[in-house]
Amino acid sequence: MAKELRANPHLVLGLATGRTMEMVYQQVVKLHKESQLDFSLCHTFNLDEYVGLAPTDPHSYRYYMEQHLFSHVNLDKRNTHLPYGLAKDFDSECNHYEQRIKNSGGIDLQLLGIGKAGHIGFNEPLSALQSRTRVKALTPTTREQNAALFGDISKVPHRAFTMGVGTILESRRCILLATGKSKADILAKAVEGPMTSMISATALQWHPRCTVVVDEEAAGKLQATDYYRWIFENEPEWQDFR
Ligand code: F6R
């Protein structure tokens, strides 16, 4: 991400929230402070936002982004975009969001986490593979996964605005990150399983430039690890990361 931003200061970044991203933003903030990583011309679009939460609500994703990234780097706040959680007219908010992405020239680099049921963004099972930004009802699995942050499952909203699978597939490059044992099963299905709208992350198999970054635990159920390791150790593309 830093490399791409240094090469193109006008980079349009697609961002995600959640526990996996916390360590990413920590590193990014460190690079900003210690190596002058410059965000002044960069634009950001987040994947999703809960319906009904104000940007100032500590559980909103706008608040999360302020806490973990926006307030620590030199991003121009006018260039940071998330769906507006309090919007009443869902269709108009979603169309406007898609339009803003288009007007910015499209997303250059999209960061993604993966939910336990395989969602990317809040594209829950059976999300159409060509879907655009819209409101999705959250599954019980997703609401449980995020309950700890709300203190109680009853407080987790039932709906969220989310970029669609089609919106995500239009980004020029994607990076999917997964860490820990709890992601091993779904990660293996997403990477090596058949493509299905039951697991939105499998749609990334269709993306021409998607990189999956995992720790050993999350990689635990993958089949072709010898092949992946060979590529990582031998292909010039990965030289800087070895
Ligand atoms: C959040 C998002 C979600 C998360 C996913 C993983 O903006 O888009 O798809 O990336 O639920 O969440 P964590 O990292 O908390 O396991």
pLDDT the model gives residue 95: 98
Say how many Å lie between the CA of residue 112 and the centre of ligand 1: 7
* Phi, psi of 203, deg, nearest 5: -65, -20
Indicate which residue's Cα is closest to atom 4 of ligand 1: 113
pLDDT tens digits along 7-36: 999 999 999 999 999 999 999 999 999 999
Say how many Å lie between the CA of residue 126 and the centre of ligand 1: 17
pLDDT tens digits along 155-191: 999 999 999 999 999 999 999 999 999 999 999 999 9
pLDDT tens digits along 47-80: 999 999 999 999 999 999 999 999 999 999 999 9
Ligand 1 binding pocket, CB closer than 6 Å: 16-20, 47-48, 113-115, 119-121
Mutate to test the pocket of ligand 1, among 48, 60, 119 (most ligand atoms within 8 A of CB): 119
pLDDT tens digits along 96-143: 999 999 999 999 999 999 999 999 999 999 999 999 999 999 999 999
pLDDT the model gives residue 173: 98
Say how many Å lie between the CA of residue 115 and the centre of ligand 1: 6
Indicate which residue's Cα is closest to atom 11 of ligand 1: 115
If pLDDT is split at 50, 70 and 90, which confidence band does 240 have? confident
pLDDT the model gives residue 241: 85
Q: Where are the domains of the chain?
A: 2-241
Say how many Å lie between the CA of residue 130 and the centre of ligand 1: 20
Ligand 1: nearest atom to the Cα of 116: 11
In the CATH scheme, what architecture does the domain 2-241 have?
A: 3-Layer(aba) Sandwich (3.40)
pLDDT the model gives residue 242: 86
pLDDT the model gives residue 130: 97
Q: What is the pTM of this model?
A: 0.97
Indicate which residue's Cα is closest to atom 12 of ligand 1: 18
pLDDT the model gives residue 197: 98
pLDDT the model gives residue 111: 98
What mean pLDDT value characterizes the chain? 97
Say how many Å lie between the CA of residue 236 and the centre of ligand 1: 30
Say how many Å lie between the CA of residue 234 and the centre of ligand 1: 31
**Close Cβ partners of 18 (under 8 Å, ≥ 6 residues apart):** 113
